[in-house]
Structure 1
Amino acid sequence: MLTLPAPAKLNLMLHIIGRRDDGYHLLQTQFQFLDFCDQLTFSPGDKSSSDPVIVLTPEIPGVANEDNLIVKAGLRLISYCREKGNTTPLNDVTIELDKKIPMGGGLGGGSSDASTALIGLNHLWQLGCSIDELAEIGLALGADVPVFVRGFAAWAEGVGEKLSPIEPKELCYVVICPDCHISTQEIFCHPELTRDTEIMTITRALDQGGHNDCEPIAKAAYKEVAEALDWLSQHGKSQMTGTGACVFAGFNDKETADAVLAALPEHWQGFVAWGKNRSPLHSTLAI
């Protein structure tokens, strides 16, 4: 049995600088991990004479087992290794998901779960795939998966797949989770989304910070996001992560962050977590 974390992430900025002919948006963003994590527990079963069966428990309401990114990650890993000529019988596996990261919040929970599945199953089955190989497999599952696979805070460009290591300050964050689920597709398809933000260098972005081009669209469409941003801005610089809905502000110490969280209106949900430039998953496995 193997239990591994799947950390949340923040986009410390998210600039949209263009759009490709295939509709994908060109981004510049800073990723940083949080020590707020889902947990995946891998329990091996018998060796399978064919391809192993992957069972996910409990199923996520509204998401068929075969459509879950965790199962998809495992199946793609098997397919990749079979194509490389690895015919070794592999154990069936049950993966128990302890879900803490809210869905549709811009915290990357699904992508992180997929990454932990790839790394965990590669370890459990002793497949010997490199981080580069796992990142390549992960990219087909989502643009955010490679950053979780590689495990370092990153400056990302392209559609999010071109990664450079960065070392932003590790602040203590208050994260508020508005009671709404925002579709990434809805935000990126919005006709009023800014798609021509000025291109920045990594050094300038780290020195001056940035903004989130998706935030005005989410605020206009979801009053819950606007209200959370307005409330949190009374305590620090507030902004939205990813395409929403979660919003955050960073503080230098946990005592201040805890005090802000304690003042949160009763009908809102939130948490305090430290930013981490090395993924808790990689720290756990000492990758």
Structure 2
Amino acid sequence: MITTWPAPAKLNLFLSITGRRPDGYHNLQTLFQFLDYGDTLHITPDQSGRIQLLTPVDGVPEAENLIVRAAQALIDAAQARHSLPANAGAAIAIEKRLPMGGGLGGGSSNAATVLVALNHLWQTGLSAAELAAIGVRLGADVPVFVYGHAAFAEGVGELLQPAEPAEKWYLVAHPGVSVATPDVFNDPALTRDSPVRSLETLLRLPFHNDCESVVRKRFRKVDELVSWLLEYAPSRLTGTGACVFAEFDTEPAARQVLELAPKWVRGFVARGVNVSPLQRTLSGG
């Protein structure tokens, strides 16, 4: 039986980089919120004993695809605790809506959805904390998608504290370029010394993304897009980009601005939600 599972986008409502770690990664403080928009995974559990990806990605070997890696990581963890049904397998297809290199967390969300969905379908019995521990090895953003609640994140993004930001409407726009996260974090001009602040303090300050100035300088189209959106609403980069979002109080206001977008801009309007669509699906809501 085919089952359908959402893999929602996320926004970084703010992002501060507070230092560089000895291992080369960066400590940060960020506020994650989900969107009621994203990719969709169709998962058919079976008795084949293998994972079959029905929708491969051009240029990405199957063994490196995060969907396949997440499924295999779950298999390894479940086998280690002898909770995996014999010959458990699955066929997985994805409807891809989120752009790669867009800062919306598409790959991490796909991985988390696979972990959560297969844990449920195979009845392997792993807790959310155990799934998150598997997920962080696949990507720093995977745990927030596993837990499925808006969160204030610290460390490299794995230290999570539930949060309840306002659920605004967003116009999310893509400028048609792809931003590689390592390029941004390796840029000498990147701000790396933002002060460590409490969530309460950060919520009182204007929201800001420390990566934005570097990305705007490296990508003219991102700079043009931020400048254009700022004419209509508070706007900023999400993650390391390339997507930019503008916040509105109502859906019609966001859609009105989207209709004015330049032809080179691809965009959509979505609601920010503090409970992930994946969690709502898991709970039957």
Q: Same fold (TM over 0.5)?
A: yes
Letter in 2 for 1:116: T
TM-fit CA distance, 1:58? 1.2
TM-fit CA distance, 1:44? 2.3
Task: Return the alpha-carbon distance in structure 2 between the equivalents of residues 92 and 122 of structure 1.
Answer: 12
How big is each residue's C-alpha offset from its partner over 1:119-155, in whole Å with a ceiling of 9 and x where there is no partner? Answer: 0111111111111110111010010000000000000
Q: Is the contact made by 2:13 and 2:207 (CA closer than 8 Å) also made in structure 1?
A: yes
**Mapping of 1:150-161 within 5 angstroms?**
150-161=147-158
Matching of residue 74 in structure 1 with residue 75 in structure 2: no
The alignment-based identity, stated in percent, is 49
Match of 2:116 in 1: 119
Matching of residue 39 in structure 1 with residue 40 in structure 2: yes
2:81 to 81, 84, 91: 84
Match of 1:194 in 2: 191
Root-mean-square deviation (CA, aligned residues, Å) is: 1.1
Match of 2:22 in 1: 21
TM-fit CA distance, 1:284? 1.2
Task: Return the alpha-carbon distance in structure 1 between the equivalents of residues 212 and 171 of structure 2.
Answer: 17
Task: Return the alpha-carbon distance in structure 1 between the equivalents of residues 85 and 245 of structure 2.
Answer: 46
1:174 to 163, 166, 171: 171
TM-fit CA distance, 1:96? 0.6
Matching of residue 206 in structure 1 with residue 207 in structure 2: no
Matching of residue 249 in structure 1 with residue 252 in structure 2: no
Task: Return the alpha-carbon distance in structure 2 between the equivalents of residues 151 and 120 of structure 1.
Answer: 13
TM-fit CA distance, 1:33? 0.2
How big is each residue's C-alpha offset from its partner over 1:17-64, in whole Å with a ceiling of 9 and x where there is no partner? Answer: 00111111000000000011100011123x24xxx2111121111111
For structure 2, the 5+ residue unaligned runs are none
Match of 2:277 in 1: 280
Letter in 2 for 1:43: T
Match of 1:9 in 2: 10
TM-score (ref. length: structure 2)? 0.97
**Mapping of 1:217-232 within 5 angstroms?**
217-232=214-229
1:128 to 125, 129, 133: 125
Q: Give the length in aligned residue pairs.
A: 283
Task: Return the alpha-carbon distance in structure 2 between the equivalents of residues 21 and 87 of structure 1.
Answer: 38
The more displaced of 231-240 and 55-64 is 55-64
SS in 2 for 1:35: strand
TM-fit CA distance, 1:87? 5.3
Task: Return the alpha-carbon distance in structure 1 between the equivalents of residues 225 and 54 of structure 2.
Answer: 33
Match of 1:143 in 2: 140
Q: Is the contact made by 1:90 and 1:125 (CA closer than 8 Å) also made in structure 2?
A: no
Q: Is the contact made by 2:85 and 2:122 (CA closer than 8 Å) also made in structure 1?
A: no
SS in 2 for 1:197: coil
Task: Return the alpha-carbon distance in structure 1 between the equivalents of residues 26 and 236 of structure 2.
Answer: 20
Letter in 2 for 1:248: F
Q: Is the contact made by 1:7 and 1:38 (CA closer than 8 Å) also made in structure 2?
A: yes
Letter in 1 for 2:112: S
TM-fit CA distance, 1:237? 1.0
Match of 1:233 in 2: 230
How big is each residue's C-alpha offset from its partner over 1:158-180, in whole Å with a ceiling of 9 and x where there is no partner? Answer: 01000001100000000111111
Letter in 1 for 2:66: L
TM-fit CA distance, 1:91? 2.9
Q: Is the contact made by 2:84 and 2:122 (CA closer than 8 Å) also made in structure 1?
A: no
Match of 2:105 in 1: 108
Q: Is the contact made by 1:57 and 1:96 (CA closer than 8 Å) also made in structure 2?
A: yes
How big is each residue's C-alpha offset from its partner over 1:64-105, in whole Å with a ceiling of 9 and x where there is no partner? Answer: 111110100000000011112335304321101000011100
Task: Return the alpha-carbon distance in structure 2 between the equivalents of residues 170 and 27 of structure 1.
Answer: 23
